[in-house]
Chains A and B, each alone.
Chain A
Amino acid sequence: MLKAKNRLGIIFFPAYDWAISPTHPERQERLLYTQDQLKEEGVFDIDGIGEYKPEVATVQDVERVHFCFPDVESVCTESHLISAGGAITAAKLVMEKKEDRAFALVRPPGHHAMKVVHGARGFCNINIEAVMVEYIREHYGQKRIAIVDTDCHHGDGSQDIYWNDPNTLYISIHQDGRTLYPGSGFVDEMGGPNAIGKTVNIPLPPQTSDEGFLYVLEKVILPILDDFKPDLIINSAGQDNHYTDPITNMRFSARGYARLNELLRPDIAVLEGGYSIQGALPYVNLGIVLAMAGVDYSHVREPDYNSDAMKQNPVITQYIKKVGQDVLDRYRNSRNFVMRGMPGNYMVRKKPIFYDTDGIRENQVESVMICNECAGILKIESLSSVNPLCLCIEVPLGACDRCRDEGYRILKEGKQKNIYAYIQLINRRDREYLRF
């Protein structure tokens, strides 16, 4: 009888009654063949693999992470709360040691959802990994967490949420932003002033094959993880790098994904994108499940896989080596980063954000206070085509007294100014969540 080396909990929730629209890639059919494949392979009968029902995330779980305008209920539906709840269930299984690892095979995805939410971007409304990560920190204490995002699209939402957090290492490998949505994720995007180097972007050229992905994993990602020493590794397991994906241009295979997970050894994996629902997902998910459980996956193969056709062009190989070296150098040098301002000063950046799925435009002014003692107070002013000017204030987990007091000062000032339609304060330090 087959036995898993690592006990693996799978939260499988295909949301068979939910779609963005009938022919949208994010539709009812998306995980149908994946379920067929996993069932036919008898995956859930393998000793040590268990299937779990997702819980439903609460509004509170979302408000711990996001500034939603006008409120949580307006920007996300039950489907999003269940998908985030699935990720939370995965985290609980691992944190409470019921399973060694867990895989939230849920939809819809979340990694394009940013800190501030006015609607859906890149099929995402709320960031399910972030909701899960902050649930973990709320209930099991501050942890050093690494998120490795292997979706083909740059996880600009996850990057945005963790831009200023020195305790979260966010690493994204994705198709180069010059050739694919959302057009970001370049090597010089490395995190905010209090968390420089904790955002790592590895843009890969179109036509990157198994060889390129695994090279980057072994030579760049694993060394960075060794240095960061996370308590938990999370894989944002997007599957659109697959060679059959209809909306991307990469050449990653099911066995490649399996090998990646075998080497990365994530504690928790969360499904993100991946829209080759017949040709890729059944095999990629099978590969990931077997690899996470420590079961032999060497016989997993797509019906149309042709290793010769998937060979990587040497020019691409050379290019990837160069990118990898650049990323490593930048990560190592980030320690020597000198603040361009004194502690107590604000770093300000202006961001225009487009919500492709909902057609919303947003303009943000994000200010973060430079602090040597904590992640720094975060203030965002946001104006969008669906909401008037909003004010967001976050007192981070482990905030110092000065930053906490500064947060409440901004709140008082904001109320007095009387120019904000909505004001939301997230105080993670004292667990105070306010809306005006």
Chain B
Amino acid sequence: MLLGLDVGGTHTDVVIIDKTGIVATDKVKTNHNDLLETVNRGIENAVKNVNRDDIERVNLSTTLSTNAIVEGKTENVAVLVSAGPGVDPANYRLGEYYYSITGSIDHRGTEILPLNTKETDSALKAAKKAGCKVYAAITKFSTRNPAQENRLCEKIGSAADFITPGHMLSGRLSFPRRVATAYYNSAVWRQFNAFAESVEKSINGFGIKANLNILKADGGTMPLAVSKGLPVESILSGPAASVMGIIALCQVTRDSVLLDIGGTTTDIAIFASGAPIIEPDGISLNSAATLVRALRTKSIGIGGDSVLRVRDGGVVSVGPDRLGPSLADGGAAVALTDAFNFMKIDSHGDVNASAAGIAGLAKNNGMKPNDLAKKAIDCAVGAICDAVRRLVDEINMKPVYTIHELLEGKKVAPEQVYVMGGPAKAFSKRLADALRLPVNVPQNYAVANAIGAALARTTMYIELLADTEKGRMIIPDIGVSRDIPAGYSLEEAEADAKKYLLGHMKKTDVADRHIHAEILDSASFNMVQGYDTTGRNIRVRCQVKPGVLHEYNDVLRNLC
């Protein structure tokens, strides 16, 4: 049995699932001042009639880290960077305790200039004086050679309660993203850990002995033990939960579009052959780009509460803002839901208030109410369709780097649309007409987020780099670095990538015995000096992709 908890902005959803289907669900209001209290309330209701011994896995999606960062309620971090030549690292400054230290490593991972000891010491002194207790250490090309980051960590030593070394976050290149990600990781570390530990205590208190896992933005989970060192991976997992919910509820196998239409926004996600598309570089938060792997979603300001406006000449606009709830929900401004009510496409809440509001707005602008409501709906549908097309185009225009991919690369062409959220039913026919695609509104979408959270399996992504001239192979984020012989091949590298990834997962996660690692791409380049081959530069990207826990594969299908 699985317990899924989705702590969202307004509601917290809880769902319990066994191999026959949904056992229990519950929805409680999120108390932002005390998330633990919210979680406790949710679990308490849901587990009333359940044999708690049967719960083998608890998956939690939480907004704690996201909110802390967005609201700026994070701990001071001492950030130590060493960038060497290139773009001035002062551009990536985050927080007040940011220290740049001389030193340099090149793209092959060769140390060009050692870290300046004096500068390091004085930075540490300053950070200590400022009272910083959490640190982040980031050097350029540390994913190629983490030696300087490791040296910084040694130097910081016991001055820190926690240090984020940049190379442990991801094997991907991007010094600025590494700086931001390391910074946020340390900034939310203390709060996240306090929360995670209390949730763990709380579920134990309910007599649940299951492993606790934390949902990530890529639609997968990480075990609690992993999340304690990588709290930043818990940011923005909300949209991922709903995407995973749809995968669980519907048999998504083809290229598809998912629309999650809420009160304020519509979130769009795209599936390629049934698999959600991943953001190529990492998600952005607070306008800072990070290395946090995430499902690619796009949000536009169209929702049930989006406010209707009429400009000169009878041009009707919808959103992108909301001025409280719609008239139907007791609000003060005419909103999209009211237009649906007026047209009798929906009958949500106070239908009479909607009708009066639409009529009033139409009269003020010399329009027929019918025209106004129709134009508003057309405008909203048009905005969603445009956004869908743009997102699909962007995905198809993603740069590729081989002739084969450029000429033969698969293009995404959606064949199916899934719509969830409050106004989903009202929108479905219009969207089907406008996108000329079949539209499906799954049942149980109200708790799809929690279902997605409950069923998500552990995911992981690594990058392996082997340089046979240097005789080294490295997988930075799981701390693998070893000597390799000159004959080390692409096939060996692929096998190693899988072996180390699975080995690392087995160490921390025992629940899923069917983990399958796949090679995303791999390449081997001959390195040439003059006219002699001096070695091979091998790169392998390997992942356990997001998906539903294998044992539960068939549970919820066809509920759609």
Contact = CB atoms under 8 A, between A and B. Distances in A.
- A and B together in one complex: yes
B525 A29 contact: yes
B86 interface: yes
Interface string A53-72: 11010000000000000000
B91 A54 contact: no
Nearest to A54: B406
Nearest to B289: A45
B399 A82 contact: no
A302 B104 CA distance: 11
A286 interface: yes
A214 interface: no
Interface string B399-421: 11111101100000000000000
26 contacts: A13-B399, A16-B401, A17-B402, A17-B403, A22-B526, A23-B531, A23-B533, A27-B526, A28-B525, A29-B525, A29-B537, A36-B173, A39-B173, A40-B174, A42-B87, A42-B174, A42-B175, A42-B289, A45-B174, A53-B397, A54-B406, A56-B406, A82-B406, A283-B85, A300-B85, A301-B85
B530 to A, nearest CB: 7
Interface stretch (B37-45, B106-114, B349-357, B429-437): B106-114
Contacts of B531: 23
Given A16-B402, A29-B537, 20 more contacts: A1-B91, A12-B401, A13-B406, A16-B525, A23-B532, A23-B533, A28-B525, A29-B526, A33-B108, A35-B401, A37-B86, A40-B107, A40-B175, A42-B174, A42-B175, A53-B406, A278-B107, A301-B85, A302-B85, A303-B104
Interface string B139-180: 011000000000000000000000000000000111111000
A1 B87 contact: no
A51 B400 CA distance: 10
A299 interface: yes
Contacts of A15: 401-403
Interface in B38-92: 85-88, 91-92
A431 to B, nearest CB: 27
Nearest to A299: B88
- Among A18, A45, A78, the one with the most B-chain Cβ atoms within 10 Å of its Cβ is A45
Given A16-B401, A40-B141, A56-B407, A28 B526 contact: yes
Given A39-B174, A40-B141, A296 B88 contact: yes
Nearest to B397: A53
Contact of A51 (B107, B140, B399): B399
Interface in B280-338: 281, 287-289
A295 B91 CA distance: 11
Contacts of A290: 87
B486 interface: no
Contact of A53 (B91, B398, B532): B398
A84 B530 CA distance: 28
A278 B110 CA distance: 12
B533 A278 contact: no
Contacts of A16: 401-402, 523, 525
Contact of B399 (A27, A37, A52, A246): A52
Interface of A: 1-2, 12-18, 22-23, 27-29, 32-33, 35-37, 39-45, 51-54, 56, 78-79, 82, 246, 278, 282-283, 286, 290, 295-296, 298-303
B484 interface: no
A27 B528 contact: yes
B403 A78 contact: yes
Nearest to A304: B112
Nearest to A22: B526
B511 interface: no
A43 B86 CA distance: 10
A35 B107 CA distance: 10
Contact of A29 (B281, B403, B528): B528
B527 interface: yes
A304 to B, nearest CB: 8
Contact of A1 (B110, B287, B403): B287
A79 B107 CA distance: 26
Interface residues of B, number: 44
B404 A17 contact: yes
Contacts of B525: 16, 28-29, 32
Given A42-B177, A56-B407, A300-B85, A36 B399 contact: no
B168 to A, nearest CB: 17
A57 to B, nearest CB: 12
A82 B403 contact: yes
Contacts of A39: 172-174
B407 A78 contact: yes
A45 B532 CA distance: 36
Contacts of A296: 87-88
A13 B409 CA distance: 14
Interface in B518-540: 523, 525-528, 530-533, 537
A287 to B, nearest CB: 10
B87 A33 contact: no
Those 8 A-B pairs whose CB atoms lie nearest each other, nearest first: A42-B176, A301-B85, A39-B173, A17-B402, A40-B173, A303-B112, A29-B525, A36-B107
A303 B106 contact: yes
B85 A13 contact: no
B106 A23 contact: no
B85 A23 contact: no
Nearest to A2: B91
A282 B406 contact: no
A53 B405 CA distance: 11
A35 B537 CA distance: 14
Contact of A282 (B107, B289, B404, B532): B107
A39 B107 CA distance: 10
A209 B407 CA distance: 42
Nearest to B465: A36
Contact of A45 (B140, B176, B404, B527): B176
Given A37-B107, A78-B407, A282-B107, A29 B527 contact: yes
A283 B104 CA distance: 14
A272 to B, nearest CB: 20
Contacts of A12: 399, 401
Nearest to B536: A29
Contacts of A37: 86, 107
Contacts of B91: 1-2
